[in-house]
Amino acid sequence: MKKIIISILAIGLVFAGADRSFASDQLLYENFDDQFLDNRLVIYGRNWAVLSPPQYNLDAVGLNGIGYSFSSGTENIAYVCWFNNVPNPWPSDEFYVSFWMRYPTFTPSDPNENFKLFYPHWDGSNSYVHYSATGDDTIYYSARDKNINMIEVSVYLNCSDMMDGNWHHYEFYVKFSEGISRMWYDGTLKLDRAYGPNLWTNNMYYISAPSIDAEEPGIFSRQVDDWEAWDGMPDTTGNPGDVNSDGHVNIADFIIVARAFGSTPSSSNWDNRADLDNSSSVNIRDLLEVARHFGE
């Protein structure tokens, strides 16, 4: 089997041809499946206290029942933050952050909750976009510029059923030079603003997503999975050989298919991402599909 995989990898390298360039690059991706954090991520609690298990956990079942996810532990306001070695200046004029989140438990404790979802800061700590869930169906939004002037406040976005126990997808995009701010919830564009130039620079400070409950302890638990940050909008057209959906077809995709090779849905090593032809088995056709697109 090892010889077969090596041979197919060689075929893939032939197919790869010349180097290709991409419109954007994934700078950080964490799916928590190895139950270790990327060393660039720090878990904080209230007042920037650095947390460690069991204040948070990495053993909850992940998105779609696959692997693991980040979850609340004894400290329910634990949140993920890219603070260590965040690029400054940011390597491009734009950034995109995406994650999946669910609330296994939620009991309203305030008529206007303040569960911060996305709260990155740049230009020192002056500039930000601020998204905060005020309840099960609404997200509050505001934005500030490099001179600490509020650009916009008190925008309320309808995002239904956030606390219904199911996984939901949150996506955020900023373009510094044009003052563009966008947000999607479960694939639907909920905010699209273009404030104009000279408001922001790309001097990144940190990215926190999700952030804390800013007012009271709250009665909730949450899980986060597939946390990723890009230096621009990822290619949404998709590539059939991009098994791990990182925008590239490379050795990492081969490894996923190789680990699941010969499996079916009842196998212990089954990984549905590796079943590229949807045949309910991971076989030579799936390896060839990765080889066909290798290097793209």
Domains of the chain: 2-22+239-293 (1.10.1330.10), 26-230 (2.60.120.200)
Biggest distance spanned by C-alpha atoms of the chain: 62
Return the bridge partners of 192, or none. Answer: 182
Q: How far, in Å, CA of 158 to CA of 107, rounded?
A: 19
Residue among 91, 81, 85 at smallest CA distance from 121: 81
Quick one: average pLDDT of 199-213? 86
Q: Which residue has the tokens 């669910």?
A: 102
What percent of the chain has a predicted confidence (pLDDT) above 70?
Answer: 88
Residue 197: φ, ψ to 5°: -80, 170
Higher pLDDT, 296 or 198: 198
Question: Mean of the per-residue pLDDT values for the chain?
Answer: 84
**In 10 A of CB 153, how many CB atoms?**
11
Q: How far, in Å, CA of 52 to CA of 57, rounded?
A: 8
Sign of the CA dihedral with 89 first, then 91, 95, and 96 last: negative
Contact 113, 220 (CB under 8 A): no
pLDDT surpassing 80 at residue 272: no
Sign of the CA dihedral with 261 first, then 266, 272, and 276 last: positive
Residue 11 has a pLDDT of 53
Quick one: average pLDDT of 34-56? 89
Give 85's DSSP letter: T
Quick one: average pLDDT of 24-28? 88
pLDDT surpassing 50 at residue 20: no
Higher pLDDT, 173 or 247: 173
Higher pLDDT, 2 or 219: 219
What percent of the chain has a predicted confidence (pLDDT) above 90?
Answer: 46
Return the bridge partners of 240, or none. Answer: none
Least confident range from 41-50, 141-150, 201-210: namely: 41-50
Q: How far, in Å, CA of 99 to CA of 288, rounded?
A: 30
Pairing of strands 127-133, 121-122: antiparallel
pLDDT surpassing 50 at residue 192: yes
pLDDT digits (tens, 9 = 90+) for 107-138: 877 777 778 889 999 999 999 999 998 888 99
Peptide bond into 108 cis (omega under 30): no
Q: How far, in Å, CA of 141 to CA of 169, rounded?
A: 17
Quick one: average pLDDT of 185-197? 94
Confidence of residue 4 (pLDDT cuts 50, 70, 90): low
Residue 144 has a pLDDT of 98
Least confident range from 127-131, 162-166, 228-232, 289-293: namely: 289-293
Contact 32, 67 (CB under 8 A): yes
Residue 17 has a pLDDT of 42
Higher pLDDT, 143 or 236: 143
- Residue 242's contacts (CB-CB under 8 Å, 6 or more residues apart) are 248, 249, 253, 293, 296
- Residue 139's contacts (CB-CB under 8 Å, 6 or more residues apart) are 117, 131, 132, 133, 156, 157, 159, 162, 183, 185, 190
Higher pLDDT, 137 or 78: 137
Sign of the CA dihedral with 46 first, then 84, 178, and 168 last: negative
Quick one: average pLDDT of 51-56? 91
Which run of H or of E encompasses 12?
helix 2-16
Least confident range from 100-109, 141-150, 198-207: namely: 100-109
Q: How far, in Å, CA of 292 to CA of 240, rounded?
A: 9
